[in-house]
Amino acid sequence: MRHDQIRTAPPSLLVRKRFQFAGAILIGAGLPWFIRGPLLPGTLFEPSGLNTLSGNIVAVILAFWTRLSIETYPGIRRSSVILPAALTGHGVSIVWFVLTRFPYDRVGLAAGFILHVGWLYFLYIYAERRLRRRIAIVPFGSTESLRHVSGVDWHVLKRPHLHDVRACHAIVADFSADLPDLWEAFLADAALDGRIVYQVKQLSESLTGRVELEHLSENSFGSLLPARGYFYLKALVDFALACLLLPVVLPVMALIAIAIRWDSRGPVFFRQQRMGHAGRPITIYKFRTMQDLKAVEERGAAMTKDDDDRITRVGRFLRKLRIDELPQIINILKWEMSWIGPRPEANVLSVWYTDEIPFYRYRHVVKPGISGWAQVNQGHVAEVDQVHRKLQYDFYYIKYFSPWLDVLILFRTIKTVLNGFGAR
């Protein structure tokens, strides 16, 4: 199919958000309540049954809202959003019942979660994974680069007629271009008609997950300072979570320490000066995964190559599962790092990258993290051209700094650990 040809068949009912939401309410909340008695214990109108019905309805609403929030981000297969969104909604519902001690049915809540997730995966398998975006391009300004982005059927408009975009999901235009009056009127009519109209730069970021680095300006970032309210809230959550996990993590760290000392000579921990929040140097802690050798060349020692022959047997296992980063819980407890954020670079590399790449230091505007948007999208890098791409991912994280993006990174990190993507 050529770019100037588009299908005009109406979208399937299964991909319509209202249908998906209504189905989730009926299947994930209504069905567990309705089958009380025949299949589940209890009667329809007893307090625990009605409370469970209400809890499942609230869970479906929260999950739907979470999906809509997360799906605005790029490079996301809808299948990767289903479980995090459902866990968020039903988790909040369970916590509410535990704290309030209202009567509820555990079996009904569990059935609601399973049926809700099953419904969403059914929709994905039979409808959403076959859905391909169709986006119309207003042919003025800097829109040419969009046509190289895969996964989208691009339709270049020949005339400013709404009839020509009837089968498109959205329209994209370069708002900074000098558009003819008829095309400006067309975009206004499209917005009044309820159609989504994207600015080319924002759409490119949305599809690639990167912020281009032509220049740093308020026009591209909106504000150079990320949301401060969430910045401080996130720091509190990071610290609280580290305190809760510490009793579980310490025995695991002790076993790893024994394995490291048994496998090779040298200290258990690797310490390194890296660049932290606001450009302040911090000492990060990791489990030692390499032979304790003196490096000849400082910059080369700071980089780890793929299949580096300095890596020990235990170290290779730790790196594969990413648990060599576990001691950085100490940095989180010292308020120096976050669970999620741009990875801190070694000071020597940070100085080098700053010399090679303009405004590299801007990535220090948020706390560095154990896992980040660049890590789940790109993996391990070292060369300057790769770092430039990594910086685009880091800037995307800073620009769209929010709890929804952190939740997405968390679940993609779990997936990354399981499949070994980017392990070095």
Q: Is residue 217 part of a domain?
A: no
- pLDDT of the residue at 340: 96
- pLDDT of the residue at 2: 40
**Amino acid, single-letter form, for residue 110:** A
Where residue 329 falls (left for φ over 0; alpha for ψ -120 to 50; beta otherwise) is alpha
- pLDDT of the residue at 124: 85
- pLDDT of the residue at 9: 41
Same domain, 42 and 64: yes
Q: Is residue 151 part of a domain?
A: yes
Instruction: Write down which residue in 106, 130, 154 finishes a domain.
Output: 130
What's the rounded mean pLDDT across residues 268-288?
93
Range of the domain at 200: 133-208
Same domain, 50 and 119: yes
Q: Are 344 and 317 in contact (CB under 8 A)?
A: no
Same domain, 272 and 410: yes
User: Of 87-96, 129-138, 216-225, which has the strongest mean pLDDT?
Assistant: 87-96
Q: Are 157 and 165 in contact (CB under 8 A)?
A: yes
Same domain, 252 and 137: no
Question: Is the pLDDT assigned to residue 28 strictly greater than 90?
Answer: yes
- For the whole model, what pTM was predicted? 0.71
Same domain, 33 and 124: yes
Question: Is the pLDDT assigned to residue 303 strictly greater than 60?
Answer: no
Q: Is residue 4 part of a domain?
A: no
Same domain, 77 and 144: no
379-424 confidence digits (pLDDT tens): 666 566 777 788 889 988 988 888 888 988 998 888 878 776 555 4
- pLDDT of the residue at 297: 46
Q: In degrees, to the nearest 5, what angle opens at C-alpha 71 toward C-alphas 68 and 76? A: 160
Same domain, 63 and 147: no
Question: Is the pLDDT assigned to residue 222 strictly greater than 80?
Answer: no
Same domain, 41 and 174: no
What's the rounded mean pLDDT across residues 176-199?
85
DSSP structure string for 200-265: HHHHHHHHHS----S---HHHHS-SS--HHHHHHHHHHHHHHHHHHHHHHHHHHHHHHHHHHHHSS
Q: Is residue 189 part of a domain?
A: yes
What's the rounded mean pLDDT across residues 319-335?
93
What's the rounded mean pLDDT across residues 112-136?
86
Same domain, 311 and 267: yes
Q: Is residue 30 part of a domain?
A: yes
Q: Is 355 exposed, middle or buried (0-12, 13-18, 19+ CB in 10 A)?
A: exposed
Q: Please, which pLDDT band fits residue 7 given cuts at 50, 70 and 90?
A: very low
Same domain, 277 and 350: yes
| Weakest-pLDDT range from 103-107, 136-140, 180-184, 221-225 | 221-225
The total of structural domains in the chain comes to 3
Same domain, 110 and 239: no
Same domain, 277 and 301: yes
Q: Mean pLDDT of all residues in the chain?
A: 83
Instruction: Write down which residue in 175, 208, 241 finishes a domain.
Output: 208
